[in-house]
Amino acid sequence: MPTIDPSIALRPQASPDAWLLVLLLGGGYLYLLSAWGPTSAPTHLRRRGYATRQQKILYFTGVLVFGIGASSPIHNVGENYLYSFHMVQHLMFQLVAAPLLILGTPAWMLRRMLVRPKVLPVVTVLTKPLVALLLVNAFVATAHTPQFVEATLSNGLFHLFTHFLWVAVGLLMWWPVTSPLPEVPHYSYLGRMGYLFSHSILPTVPASFLTFASAPLYSSYENAPRIWEFITPLVDLQIAGLLMKIGGGLLLWAVIAALFFRWSHEDRTGGPDALYWRDFAGTDQTPELVKR
């Protein structure tokens, strides 16, 4: 098995397709703030550039996470040498970047994008917790098949498309947890915790195939140069499975714990749902009621 100098493998590589998506995400957000904000944003947000500071920080942190995952050494190593780094990349897109993008988008912007006659019925169906749960995990299972992985590594256009898909699937996954729109509402606290618990369990099926594999599954990674001799193709595959099962699970359980403590706090104090702060914190307006 050929080896490669780690300093070369860990060198960041410019990824034009990734930077195109970063520019679309960041530039599109700024454009919509300026184009739609003057007519669609509530009055108190017009004095803040049509979004709160917290929203802008969250959104651009999500864009940054996506950019790091798509063009840093994580991307180079994950696409060319180690599948475990490929797994880290996808976890960053789905479990970190996606919820930050939703939390950073003002409710008025989401409403203008989604509350349309031909869009809202589709979004309503797709974001129902059971539907989202099944669609997201069906994609995750498919994305770890040898055929899918090999296609992403050999076809540049499909590779770009999968980057988009991972973010889109992440947005779908997190919508029932983070939506601020009463038209397409988030679930109750108990429902959100149960929903995320299911997301922490179902991926253990494909993760188990990786963790307990007796032979490498992906020929591109099996034949790739070794960065570190002790990480064989089989060990690399098993690390990826553990990252998917334990790493992703721990992150979801941390969110479940945060939801539980927030629910307990609101029950004691009678405060509003935590999602209201995005557009209504610090104002005298009454937020629209959503399912609790």
pLDDT digits (tens, 9 = 90+) for 193-217: 999 999 999 888 888 889 988 898 9
Q: In the prediction, which pLDDT does 292 show?
A: 32
- 199 close to 244: Cβ distance less than 8 angstroms: no
pLDDT averaged per 10 residues, the chain (length 292): 61 70 92 94 83 92 91 83 92 95 93 93 94 94 93 85 90 94 88 94 88 89 85 93 93 94 83 58 42 35
Q: In the prediction, which pLDDT does 118 show?
A: 92
Nearest to 87 by CA among 26, 197, 166: 166
CA 281 to chain centre: 25
Q: In the prediction, which pLDDT does 47 show?
A: 79
Count the residues in the chain: 292
Q: In the prediction, which pLDDT does 290 show?
A: 37
Distance CA 2, CA 229 (A): 10
Q: In the prediction, which pLDDT does 45 show?
A: 84
Please provide residue 3's backbone torsions phi and psi, each rounded to the nearest 5 degrees.
-120, 165
Q: In the prediction, which pLDDT does 112 show?
A: 93
Q: In the prediction, which pLDDT does 6 show?
A: 61
- 66 close to 93: Cβ distance less than 8 angstroms: yes
- 33 close to 109: Cβ distance less than 8 angstroms: yes
Q: In the prediction, which pLDDT does 80 show?
A: 83
Amino acid letter for position 188: S
Nearest to 104 by CA among 275, 290, 256, 257: 275
Domain boundaries, the chain: 6-280
